[in-house]
Amino acid sequence: MRPAARKILNTKNAVAVFIVVALSVIAALAVPDSSSPGHGGPWYSILPPLLAVTLAIVTRRVMGSLALAIVIGGLLASVPSSPLAVGTWGEGLRISFQFVWGSVADWTNIQILAFVVVVLAMISTVIVAGGLQAIVLWLARFVRGPRSAQTVTALMGLTVFIDDYANTMIVGASMRPVTDRLRVSREKLAFLVDSTSAPVAGVAVVSTWVGYEVGLFEDLARSAGIESTGYAMLFAALPFRFYCILMICFVLMNALTGKDFGPMARAERRCRATGAVAEEDAVAMTSKAFSTATPAPGARARMATAILPIAALFGFLFVGIWLDGGGGRRLAESPLALLSPAAWMDVIGASENSIPLLAGAGAVSLALVVICARWLAKAPFAVIVRSVLAGARASLLPVAILVLAWSLKAACDRLGTGPFLVAAVGETLGAAWFPAITFIIAALTSFSTGTSFGTMAILIPVAGPIAFHLGGDAHGLVMMVTLAAILDGSILGDHCSPISDTTIMSSISSSCDHIHHVRTQLPYSLTVGSLALICGYLPAGFGVSPWLALPAAVAAMAVLFYFLPAGRDAAATTRS
């Protein structure tokens, strides 16, 4: 290791140690009588999540940080009682392993992990069979100029809602020849791909993100004693997903108006004027992932190969939840119950088997896509098998993060982290400000670590119980807004981070210089994030309805685009 790199590493380690020690001292002094029953766990109960957050920010290694925090949690559950006894240290390691094994062996967790695996395998097979590529080619027929090319790209991003990785891989690689021909800069293409990946998958009611988010919410509900299901909590938070909803609106306004600002405007002017889709010093990123974005040799690209399995996923899940939640009785009482949002919310809240239904829906869609790939697309059976295995391998990272997140939550439960934080922070922090503060913390954590999943895994078990307490020990407004703030803040930080996997993949699939992509996208993400904070999470924390906050934010966005100057070169050179 070079001396300069070693110096930077030592500085980071020193900063991490200082932060952990300083916050630990503050925690120890904040509640002097923390050992009393009214204050839950001891002060050192915050060490595992504190270590996870601090190390993840400093080292940018989420899995290693979570793993170390779990070990520390196990040791703290045993060692303080007899620190000089060798046996207690061994017992602490055994408890650490128990946290992980308990998370893996839990039947609900197994079903969630199964959903993630089978859906990624389904997506991989759809891509290889050419189903999503056929949809992309159909949409591309409507492209006439730069603005319509951007609009179609954005609409394709909305169509590929099932997974953010699938979005970046398919949309960027497929639309790049079209946007290059119509003089849309690579920077703009990368932005459109990146900004319709996680925001769309994050709010889609059926996606690979759902299993992850529902799993975290289910675990939070069980530990905090919340009488709700993970799916019901997810749906309750949907109206407060300000950043995701506003980013989708921003992308559509940006594409339809053809107006840009900041570094993106300069990139678009360059492309329109000279035809140079990238800067002279750009280093285009390429990847072998492009090979999986086109049909396999011999396969027939048909839209039905993608539409039928995805429709089956939706249909199985919604019909199952409707029947499980008493929808049949409601339908007998009123044939219009299916069209009632209130009836759907009640049914979703009453459903007790949403997780098994989610796993079952994934299995049905995987079986159907194999049939479609073989009989409709005529893909070789060996290719189908390899695509299923490739999708299963791609699930290893999210599965590992989920298991570690559940294990850390088990450590926090054992030590009483939630009750301690409620006692130390809950009485002094105003409920109205908590969602906005949480949104900022989630964005900073995700920016530093480059992972929205890891940020959600760290913050939901910690901030969730505090929000539950601030809301009067009820799953009410404060908790719904706070959970939405964690999810959306994680996505905002992920969008701004140069080390984010989806940001990197967007650069790769669009053949855009990665630094140029980050530099041009950052002002747009921060603009939408500011609107989400000022017009969304702050008013919502004070009780303003999201149905008032969202139109206000969209109106402010529309005013911004109205006063932006039109692209002169765009108007002069091509039609929209």
Average pLDDT, the chain: 79
Look at residue 301 and tell me whether its pLDDT is greater than 80. no
Look at residue 533 and tell me whether its pLDDT is greater than 90. yes
Average pLDDT in the 172-179 region?
Answer: 74
- Matching residue, tokens 């966005």: 557
Confidence (pLDDT) at 571: 41
Instruction: Out of 68-77, 132-141, 499-508, 563-572, give the one with best mean pLDDT.
Output: 68-77
Q: How big is the chain, counted in residues?
A: 576
Confidence (pLDDT) at 488: 94
Confidence (pLDDT) at 511: 77
Q: How many CB atoms lie within 10 A of CB 33?
A: 8
Confidence (pLDDT) at 192: 93
Tell me the two tokens of residue 451.
Answer: 């992972």
3-state SS, residue 376: coil
Q: Select from 286, 346, 314 the least CA-distant residue to 210.
A: 314
Q: How confident is the model at residue 189 (pLDDT cuts 50, 70, 90)?
A: very high
Q: Determine the Cα–Cα distance for residues 416 and 410; give it in Å rounded to an integer.
A: 10
Look at residue 1 and tell me whether its pLDDT is greater than 80. no
Confidence (pLDDT) at 274: 87
CA atoms within 13 A on the CB side of 322: 20
pLDDT in tens, 429-485: 678 888 998 998 888 878 866 678 778 887 888 888 888 888 777 778 888 999 999
Confidence (pLDDT) at 16: 60
Look at residue 569 and tell me whether its pLDDT is greater than 50. no
What percent of the chain stands above pLDDT 90? 18
Look at residue 286 and tell me whether its pLDDT is greater than 80. no
Q: Determine the Cα–Cα distance for residues 457 and 449; give it in Å rounded to an integer.
A: 12
Confidence (pLDDT) at 15: 63
Q: Determine the Cα–Cα distance for residues 512 and 168; give it in Å rounded to an integer.
A: 13
- Within 8 A by CB and 6+ apart from 87, the residues are none
Least confident of 289-293, 315-319, 463-467: 289-293
Q: Which amino acid is at 406?
A: W
Confidence (pLDDT) at 263: 92
Confidence (pLDDT) at 570: 42
Q: Select from 497, 508, 496, 517 the least CA-distant residue to 187.
A: 517
State phi, psi for 547 to the nearest 5 degrees. -75, -10
With 0-12 / 13-18 / 19 or more C-beta atoms within 10 angstroms meaning exposed / middle / buried, residue 153 is buried
Confidence (pLDDT) at 386: 87
Phi-psi region of 130 (alpha: psi -120 to 50; beta: other; left: phi over 0): left
Q: How confident is the model at residue 79 (pLDDT cuts 50, 70, 90)?
A: confident
Q: Select from 296, 287, 291 the least CA-distant residue to 509.
A: 287
Q: Select from 530, 513, 446, 564 the least CA-distant residue to 247.
A: 530
- Matching residue, tokens 């929000």: 467
For the stretch 207-239, what's the b/e string if a residue is b when 16 or more beta carbons lie within 10 angstroms of its beta carbon? bbbbbbbbbbbbbbbebbebebbbbbbbbbbbb
More confident residue, 212 or 5: 212
Q: Determine the Cα–Cα distance for residues 474 and 478; give it in Å rounded to an integer.
A: 9
pLDDT in tens, 270-282: 988 888 887 876 6
Q: Determine the Cα–Cα distance for residues 14 and 27; give it in Å rounded to an integer.
A: 20
102-104-110-114 Cα dihedral, nearest 10 degrees: 170
Look at residue 34 and tell me whether its pLDDT is greater than 90. no
Phi-psi region of 512 (alpha: psi -120 to 50; beta: other; left: phi over 0): beta
Confidence (pLDDT) at 86: 74
Confidence (pLDDT) at 158: 84
Instruction: Compute the 3-state secondary structure of the chain and give helix, strand, coil in percent, each to the nearest 5.
Output: 80, 0, 20
pLDDT in tens, 331-361: 887 877 777 766 776 676 567 777 788 788 8
Average pLDDT in the 312-337 region?
Answer: 82
Instruction: Out of 131-145, 298-312, 376-390, 525-539, give the one with best mean pLDDT.
Output: 525-539
Least confident of 8-22, 126-140, 524-538: 8-22
- Matching residue, tokens 């998370």: 103
Average pLDDT in the 416-421 region?
Answer: 68
CA separation, residue 539 to residues 20, 22, 556 (Å): 33, 33, 15
Confidence (pLDDT) at 534: 95
DSSP string, 221-244: HHHHT-SS-HHHHHHHHGGG-HHH
Instruction: For the chain, give every domain's residue range.
Output: 1-105, 108-182+199-232+286-397
pLDDT in tens, 202-248: 887 766 677 678 778 888 888 777 777 777 888 889 999 999 999 99
Confidence (pLDDT) at 198: 84
Average pLDDT in the 140-153 region?
Answer: 81
Tell me the two tokens of residue 454.
Answer: 């890891």
- Matching residue, tokens 């997810």: 234
More confident residue, 176 or 99: 99
Look at residue 35 and tell me whether its pLDDT is greater than 60. no
Tell me the two tokens of residue 469.
Answer: 């307490």
More confident residue, 269 or 457: 269
- Within 8 A by CB and 6+ apart from 259, the residues are 561, 564, 565, 566, 567
Phi-psi region of 183 (alpha: psi -120 to 50; beta: other; left: phi over 0): left
Look at residue 513 and tell me whether its pLDDT is greater than 60. yes
